[in-house]
Amino acid sequence: MSVLITGGNGFVMSNFARHWIESHPEEKVVILDAAAPDQIARRFFASIAHQIRWVEASIQEPEAWTSQIEQDEITCIVHGATLTPHPYKGEDGVIRDPERDGPRRVLDVNVMGTVEILEWARKLKNLHRFLYVSTGSVYSDKGPTDAPLPEQGYVDPTTLYGISKYCSELVVRRYGQLFELPVVVVRLSSVYGPMDRETASRHVHSVPWLITHLALHREELRISAYDAVGDWIHARDVAEAITRLLHAPNLQYSTYNVAYGHAETVRTLVEIAAEIIPVKHRLSSNKEANVICDPDRRHGQWGAYDISRLRDELNWKPLPLRQQMHDYIGWLRSNEVAQNADAPKQSGVS
């Protein structure tokens, strides 16, 4: 089973690529990415680089990459290449909004890029599964108040990112019907873990990233709301969920939430981090905060996600938050803090 991973040098997909290879040491993967591996990616993949074949090309330019990949060798595709155009604060302190600055590019990459890979996929003779990596941003801000957010219903994206991802979900589903492709969609909640870094297509970080980085750099955490919540899932838990979905002979559903399954507070994250590293923190106004969270965002895409489909069908469940947070801090100490003495310059939004 050979896997093609689009966007494989990015945050979540790099974790999947490494997890897959470590779980299948006899196999290789093909990574299709618009950018070559940066220094962090080269270190991350160093021990398994001989099992990766990189194809550097834009997914929107199939003539640049289709000739470099043997159709008969690919049995699974994980399509994770995307543009994540959330507003962010640049190093000069100015807020930038990629959605406003380049709306057509968002749609071209996220929707038409998906069409390009599907057009190629439908010609494959040995395709076992096409997995599309979507997002909880397809959901609305509202959801059940007494239960986690299910995979059915509550879909109402408001940003071009969420709209483009849901549009691609529908395109993937229709291609599956038209050409009898074995397609499946995963919707991720807020992911944290190794390889979370700024790239040309992604500039934002999760709250766990902010808390751990600020604490490790001995910066005071100025938190706007301790009781703000999120469903934070470690990237390796995501990788294991995708792995199980690829292995399954058949799947009962077309869409699966991949999440921790519980809404945890920012205060809980701080307390977990403080168990193994010094954490200085205080409540602050939004104007002064470097960890900005909205306490009113508690339901819909911001709250807990229902993960019963993956749990019941594939016996998947994420590892405990405490264990994964501690593991992440250990990874940061070994891989980022030692190489970079500069503290994070960016505030985050939950």
pLDDT digits (tens, 9 = 90+) for 153-199: 999 999 999 999 999 999 999 999 999 999 999 999 999 999 998 88
pTM of the model: 0.94
In the chain, where are the structural domains located? 3-203+232-260+303-319
CB 176 within 8 A of CB 251: no
- Give the number of other Cβ atoms within 10 Å of residue 68's Cβ: 13
Residues 3-203+232-260+303-319, CATH architecture: 3-Layer(aba) Sandwich (3.40)
Q: Report pLDDT digits (tens) over 18-35.
A: 999 999 999 889 999 999
- Local confidence band at 97 (pLDDT 50, 70, 90 cut-offs): confident
Most confident stretch, 201-215, 307-321, 332-346? 307-321
If one counts every other C-beta atom within 10 angstroms of the C-beta of residue 333, the result is 14
Provide the pLDDT confidence category of residue 340 given band limits of 50, 70 and 90. Answer: low
Range in 207-211, 228-232, 247-251, 345-349 with the lowest mean pLDDT: 345-349
Q: Is the pLDDT of residue 109 over 80?
A: yes
Look at residue 10 in the predicted model and tell me its pLDDT.
94
Give the full edge-to-edge strand order of the sheet including 129-135.
52-56, 29-33, 3-6, 76-79, 129-135, 183-188, 255-258
How far, in Å, are 145, 218, 237 from residue 132 at the CA level?
28, 39, 17
Mean pLDDT of the chain: 93
**Rounded mean pLDDT of 210-225?**
96
Residue 104 has pLDDT above 80, yes or no: yes
Each as own residue / partner, the long-range contacts of residues 312-317 (CB below 8 Å, 24 or more positions apart, any chain) are 313/248, 313/251, 313/252, 313/253, 314/241, 314/244, 314/245, 314/248, 316/240, 316/241, 316/244, 317/261
Confidence of residue 345 (pLDDT cuts 50, 70, 90): very low
State the Cα–Cα distance between residues 10 and 36, nearest whole angstrom: 10
**In terms of Cα–Cα distance, which of 8, 2, 15 is closest to 246?**
2
pLDDT of residue 198: 82
- Quick one: pLDDT at residue 92? 78
Dihedral pair phi/psi, residue 96, rounded to 5°: -115, 145
pLDDT at 341: 44
- Find tokens 């879909």 and name the residue: 155
d(CA 139, CA 153): 8
Q: Name the residue among 315, 188, 186, 162 with its Cα closest to residue 256.
A: 186
In sequence order, the 6+-apart residues with CB closer than 8 A to the CB of 70 are none
Residue pLDDT, tens place only, 139-156: 999 999 999 999 999 999
β pairing state of 29-33 and 52-56: parallel
CA distance 115 to 110: 9
Tell whether the model's pLDDT for residue 343 goes beyond 90: no
Distance between CA atoms of residues 306 and 73, nearest Å: 35
